Each structure stands twice: as structure tokens, then as C-alpha cells.
Amino acid sequence: MHASRSHLPAPGDADALLRLVAACRAPAHLPSLRAAHARLLSLLHPSHPSAAPARVKLIQAYASCSALPAARAVLESSCSLYHGAAAAAATVCFNVLIRALTTASLHRDALRLFASMRPRGPAWFPDHYTYPLALKSCAATKDLLLGLQVHSAVARLGLDANRYVAHSAISMYARCGRPEDAYRVFDGMQHRDVVSWNAMISGFSRAGLFERAVDVFKEFVALQCSLPDAGTMASILPAMGSAKAEDILFVRKAFDEMQFKELISWNAMLAIYANNRYHVKAVELFLRMENDGVEPDSVTLATALPPCGELSAFSVGKRIHEIIKRKRMLPNSILENALMDMYASCGCLKDAREVFDSMSSRDVISWTSIVSAYGKHGHGREAVDLFEKMLGQGLEPDSIAFVAILAACSHSGLLDVGKRYFDSMTCRYHITPKAEHYTCMVDLLGRAACIGEAYDFIRTMPIEPNERVWGALLQACRIHSNMDIGLVAADSLFRLVPEQTGYYVLLSNMYARAGRWADVTLVRSVMADKGIKKLPGASIVELGDRVHTFHIGDRCHPQSEMIYQKLDELLQKIRGMGYNPEVEATLHDIEEEDKEGHLSVHSEKLAIAFLLINTSPGTPIRVTMNLRICGDCHLAAKLISTITSREIILKDTNRIHHIVQGACSCGDYW
């Protein structure tokens, strides 16, 4: 592409030289650029009609070759050459260089250069191109004071009617924590286009006013003046963190009605599903992209990987890895970290480790991912070794890294190690523990049978214990049959009226065991009042590109007959191996009986039977469930793994059970 020195256009061929300049976009092109510059000198004389555009092109080219001093030198020589009427031409040079600085995120430098314009004399006025850039840098540096100054200068000059200026002012105010001022600018605009609406939607989103962002989005769609675009989708995304179902439907409808869907629209829709735990919807959307021939980029893939992990959609996740390799997207730490997590979440610790080992550089997130991968699989010792290795590399663990190591300790019952990490987190690293850390500690202590200590821990913690903290204690009390503290935990949990439906079952079971039937009734009525439906135990499995869901006692599946037949056959066989379904009732819900009065078959058993029927011998069985696994199913799964010689990978809401030949990676500690 690029002419070497000897193939440079002749000095007289200005057009060819300028084309060459414009094509210099990377540091490697710098020699050609310098050579072309040298041959262009006569053209750059102010008397030449093309002098101004040529200088602009040179500044742009130097800037995109990361040669900012050279770009600056061209600017300065322009300043000394232009006078009076020609100054507008120099303003363009400033604009171009400021633009280069903002795209390089050098916002302070951009603002310095902006501020240096007017002291040079009355000829160097910033114009309607300069102000949007300056406001953008104010927004990026959260410099409200300067932003206000710039905006008032804009108003004095009468440039505030310019929509580019207005849009950047909206964004500046919102990002500097003044959404109402942003709205005032928006409201005062005579004519609004898509970008005006996007700026306002994004403004409210960024300022944390999610409902208002959604309202503006809806108003915009209802107006039907112009159609939402990719910018609209991306702007509403931060406001859709835990969105209402109807709002997600609304956005999806707007997305569906877009005639030309840019990649960012797909990516934003994917992210909205992923952030709202609509994992199946997210994977379906990704599959549709593949079907429609939409070329994914690294953002698409990084967004699609977590839902694959959540669903244990291993074949889709694996395919994404192939796409990443084919498109030569690595090294890319965001993708690699997402890949590790997807593999770990699918129960493929080995693949996660391979990604980790292949990385060229690892940040705290990478280490946290691999630590949590080992932790979830019940390999606490390895998790601790890796965590120590990270410290040895001089990396500073953050709050989330400690959640990972504490969770790893609790999953493996490493009581003393876990306590030590909790102490070092506060004393050595001065990280204030959050509810997640306390939950890990209560879980660690409680399941290690130190129920009293766990309870004391909750009583002395400096923040208000949330439902998860009490839930961890209640869980421990159930395991260790501690009725006294269990009821305290249940009462506290009930007072909080948990959002998580899973706790209600645990709660009412505890009350039932204590014979507190009035409270059982009360729990039910609270659930009814709040319109909370019992979370039906469900398991999902991936077969091919399809995700199959099984519910407790499910008979809707087309293969239902075969599944139950297979299950009967399996349960018959393992009965002789110590399996006795009478012993453990059911953790999920003691009220869950079918019409014949028998306990309904748990969904994970149905899912296992389904996969045994539909996959060839030796294929690992992967099941993801929405509750914790119960003891009965855990034992059944272990024995089934023995008689069928299948690996069974069961992911529940808490961890992963990797079962091989009758032995589970959790060591029966969960």
C-alpha cells in the first residue's frame, strides 16, 4: 500500500502526495509521511490555495501515526503564518489536533490546547467545531466548573443553537452529575434529531436516573419523528440493569422494527438480555445473528459468553472460542477472561486453565476468574495457591478477588485459611468488607459447623445483614440441624421479605419443622400478597443448539414417556447400591407432591435421564439448575455416574458438582 521513499510521487504531484498523507494512519507509516511532508513544503506556503487543507491533512496524519509533537509543530507553524482573515484556517488546525487528543483520551491536553487558543489573540476564536470537543473533554474529566464556563462562553457567542454544541452540553451536564441542567438544554432545543434524544437518554442513564431514561426512550419511539438507531440502543443499555419485563419487551420491539440493524444494536440487545439474566434469550439472539450472517465483533462475543456459561451451553461457548481463534482476536484480556469464566461455568476446569495458561498478560480479573473457577469446583487448595501466586506477582487483589478466594475457602471448608484472608483483606489491604464478603464468611463458618460463631459474626458486623447473609446462616442451620439459631435466621429473613423466592421454601420448611404452622401460613400469605410465585425447581440442558428446560414433576416434554422409563430403570439399579429415596425428603419443597401423593421427581433427575437417552456413551452430562441440589439427587447422580460411566457436571446456584465414577469434586461438602 505504502510507497517507499524511492516510489514517492514527484514533488510537483500535489494530489498524489496529499493522498499518500491521508493514507498514513499508523506509526509504521511515519517514514512515508515525513518524506511526503518534505516534498509538500512549497505547497504549504500561505500563498498557495491548497495550503490550508494540506496542513489540516498533515496534522491529522501525524496525530493518527501517534506523532503528536510533529502534529503540534505543524499547528504552531500554521499559527505563525496565518493572520487576520486567514485565521479561520488556523482554527481548523486547532480543531483537528484537539480532536486527535480527545480520541486518544488525552482530555487534559485537549483542554489545555483549547484554553491556549484565545490568549494568542482575537484571531484564534474557538468555533462551533471546537466547543463540542471541549465539552466532551469536560465531561470525560468530570470538570463541571470548566464545563459551565465553556457553556456560558458558547451562549455568549450565540453558538448554543448549534445542535452539535447542544448535544455535547447535554452529555457534559449529565456526566458531571447535573441531569436537570442537561434536560434544560434538551428541552430548550428548537429541533431535535435522533442524536438529541440519544444524548438525553444516555444522559439520564449515566446519571443513574434509569426510569427517566426509559421514559424518554418511550417518548421518542412514540413520537415517530425519527427511528431509534444503534446509538439509541447503546444509550438505553445502562438504564436497563435490572429492568422491568415490559421495558425489555418494549426495547426488543424497537430493535425488531429497525430496518438496518447495526452491529452495536445487536450487541446492546444482547447485553440487555445478559444483564437481566435472560440467558436463553441472549443465546437465542446470538444464534440468530449467526443465522442471519451478522459478523460478530469482540464485543458481541464477550457479551454472549457469560450467558453461555450461565446455561452451561458448552457447544455454543466452544464455538465462540473457535470464532475468536479464527478471527485472530487474541490476545484480548476481556475475551480471555470471559472465556475462562464460560468454561469454568460449564464445568470445564481444564479448558479454563488452558486459556489462563495461554494468556500473554494477566490482570487481577484474570486471576480472579481462575481462582473462582477452582473454587466453584471445590478445589480450594489450588485456588489458594493461585491466589498466592497472584500476590507473588505484585498484583493488588481488589474487593471481588477477595469474594472469589473467600468463596473458594467456604466451598472447600478451609476455615482457618478463609479467616486469615478475611483479616488480611481488612488489615493489610484496607478493603471494607461488603455484604458478599460477610455472606462468604457466614457460609464458611456455618457449614464448618461453627454456627454460634457464624451468628456472632452477623451480630457484630458493621453493616446491616441482608437476605443472603441470613440465608447462608439458615442454610447452615438446616445442614447441622440447629433449630434455635435456625429460627432466629428464619425470623430475620422473614422480616426482610426476601426478593429471592428460593428463601421462602427454606423459611417455611424451617417453620414447619419447628411446628410453627401459623408462620408457615403467614409466609404463604406474604408470598401471595406480593404476587410471588414459588420458584419452580428447574433444570436446563443444552442439546445441539437447543436449550431444554425441565421442571419438577414435568410431563410436558415430548420424550416424557421415555425419560420416566429410563429414570425408573436407573433408580432400580442404584437402589441396590445404597440409594434410599426415603431418607432425605426434599430440600426444594416439602409440599411438592403430585396427584398420586408421591414426591415429584426433581428436575435434575429428569434432565440427566433426558441426556442419557439423547447422547452417545461417554458424552459428559451437563445440567444447570435454578436451586441448590438436594442430597437425594446428589447421591443419585453419583451412583448414576458409576453405572453409566458418564461424567456428570451439575451446576446449582451455589457451585459446580463435577462427578466422575461416583465421586464428586465437592467432596460431599456443600
447-506: contacts with DNA (CB under 7 A): none
Segment 617-636, which members bind DNA (CB under 7 A)?
A: none
C-alpha cell at 415: 476455615
Min separation Cβ 93 and DNA, Å: 7
Segment 572-591, which members bind DNA (CB under 7 A)?
A: none
Min separation Cβ 466 and DNA, Å: 20
Segment 101-120, which members bind DNA (CB under 7 A)?
A: 102
DSSP code, position 668: T
Q: Which is nearer to DNA, 153 or 264 (CB)?
A: 264
Segment 25-54, which members bind DNA (CB under 7 A)?
A: 52-53
Stretch that binds DNA, among 62-70, 294-302, 552-560, 587-595 (CB under 7 A): 294-302
DSSP code, position 6: G
Question: What one-character-per-residue DSSP string does 356-422 give?
Answer: HHH-S---HHHHHHHHHHHHHTT-HHHHHHHHHHHHHTT----HHHHHHHHHHHHHHT-HHHHHHHH
307 binds DNA (CB under 7 A): no
Task: Using DSSP, state whether 516 is helix, strand or coil.
Answer: coil
Long-range CB contact pairs, 358-361, < 8 A, 24+: 359/331, 359/333, 360/331, 361/331, 361/333
Min separation Cβ 270 and DNA, Å: 8
Stretch that binds DNA, among 35-43, 329-337, 430-438, 554-562 (CB under 7 A): 329-337
Q: How many residues bind DNA (CB under 7 A)?
A: 73
Judged by CB under 7 A, the residue of 32, 64, 276, 303 near DNA is 303
Q: Among positive and negative, which fits the CA dihedral 68, 71, 77, 79?
A: negative
Task: Using DSSP, state whether 55 is helix, strand or coil.
Answer: helix
Segment 216-245, which members bind DNA (CB under 7 A)?
A: 229-232, 234-235, 237-238
| Residues 6 or more apart whose Cβ sits within 8 Å of residue 276 | 240, 241, 242, 243, 248
Judged by CB under 7 A, the residue of 39, 57, 478, 638 near DNA is 57
Neighbour tally for 430: CB within 10 Å: 7
Stretch that binds DNA, among 123-131, 210-218, 410-418, 656-664 (CB under 7 A): 123-131
Stretch that binds DNA, among 40-48, 122-130, 215-223, 569-577 (CB under 7 A): 122-130
Min separation Cβ 383 and DNA, Å: 13
Q: In what order do the strands lie in the sheet with 538-543?
A: 546-551, 538-543, 621-625, 648-651, 656-660, 663-664
Beta strands 621-625 and 648-651, pairing class? parallel
Q: Which is nearer to DNA, 203 or 486 (CB)?
A: 203
Number of helices (H) and strands (E), helices first, in the chain? 33, 6
- The CA-based angle 516-446-466, given to 5 degrees, is 70
Spatial separation of the C-alpha atoms in residues 309 and 322, rounded to whole Å: 16
17 binds DNA (CB under 7 A): no
Q: Which is nearer to DNA, 407 or 441 (CB)?
A: 407
Helix 560-575 vs helix 603-614: crossing angle, to nearest 10: 100
Q: Which is nearer to DNA, 168 or 654 (CB)?
A: 168
Which element (helix H / strand E) includes 625?
A: strand 621-625
Stretch that binds DNA, among 217-225, 258-266, 315-323, 514-522 (CB under 7 A): 258-266
Q: Which is nearer to DNA, 136 or 602 (CB)?
A: 136
- Assess contact for 376 and 656: CB atoms under 8 A: yes
Of 303, 258, 257, the C-alpha closest to 278 is 303
Judged by CB under 7 A, the residue of 64, 372, 509, 641 near DNA is 372
Stretch that binds DNA, among 32-40, 93-101, 432-440, 633-641 (CB under 7 A): 93-101
Spatial separation of the C-alpha atoms in residues 37 and 55, rounded to whole Å: 10
196 binds DNA (CB under 7 A): yes
What number of CA atoms fall less than 13 Å from residue 387's CA on the CB side?
Answer: 29
Spatial separation of the C-alpha atoms in residues 52 and 54, rounded to whole Å: 5
Binding mask 135-174 for DNA (x = CB under 7 A): -x--x----------------------xxxx-xx--x---
Judged by CB under 7 A, the residue of 269, 271, 442, 636 near DNA is 271
Min separation Cβ 232 and DNA, Å: 6
206 binds DNA (CB under 7 A): yes
Min separation Cβ 524 and DNA, Å: 35
C-alpha cell at 150: 465553556
Segment 381-400, which members bind DNA (CB under 7 A)?
A: 398, 400
Stretch that binds DNA, among 1-9, 300-308, 312-320, 646-654 (CB under 7 A): 300-308
Judged by CB under 7 A, the residue of 32, 202, 412, 665 near DNA is 202
Q: Which is nearer to DNA, 263 or 522 (CB)?
A: 263
Q: Which is nearer to DNA, 231 or 486 (CB)?
A: 231
Judged by CB under 7 A, the residue of 32, 64, 369, 482 near DNA is 369
| Residues 6 or more apart whose Cβ sits within 8 Å of residue 461 | 433, 438, 469
Beta bridge partners of 648: 621, 659
Beta strands 663-664 and 656-660, pairing class? antiparallel
Min separation Cβ 570 and DNA, Å: 34
Min separation Cβ 405 and DNA, Å: 10
Question: What one-character-per-residue DSSP string does 284-340 give?
Answer: HHHHHHHHHTPPP-HHHHHHHHHHHHHHT-HHHHHHHHHHHHHTT--S-HHHHHHHH
- The CA-based angle 522-527-531, given to 5 degrees, is 145
Q: Which is nearer to DNA, 187 or 416 (CB)?
A: 187
Judged by CB under 7 A, the residue of 79, 111, 210, 306 near DNA is 306
Min separation Cβ 665 and DNA, Å: 18
Binding mask 336-365 for DNA (x = CB under 7 A): -xx--x---------------------xxx
Task: Using DSSP, state whether 626 is helix, strand or coil.
Answer: coil
Min separation Cβ 127 and DNA, Å: 7
Stretch that binds DNA, among 257-265, 535-543, 560-568, 649-657 (CB under 7 A): 257-265
654 binds DNA (CB under 7 A): no
Min separation Cβ 513 and DNA, Å: 35
Of 182, 207, 206, the C-alpha closest to 196 is 182
Stretch that binds DNA, among 210-218, 268-276, 468-476, 496-504 (CB under 7 A): 268-276
Distance of CA 127 to the CA centre of its chain: 39
Min separation Cβ 532 and DNA, Å: 27
Q: Which is nearer to DNA, 426 or 580 (CB)?
A: 426
DSSP code, position 591: T
Min separation Cβ 193 and DNA, Å: 5
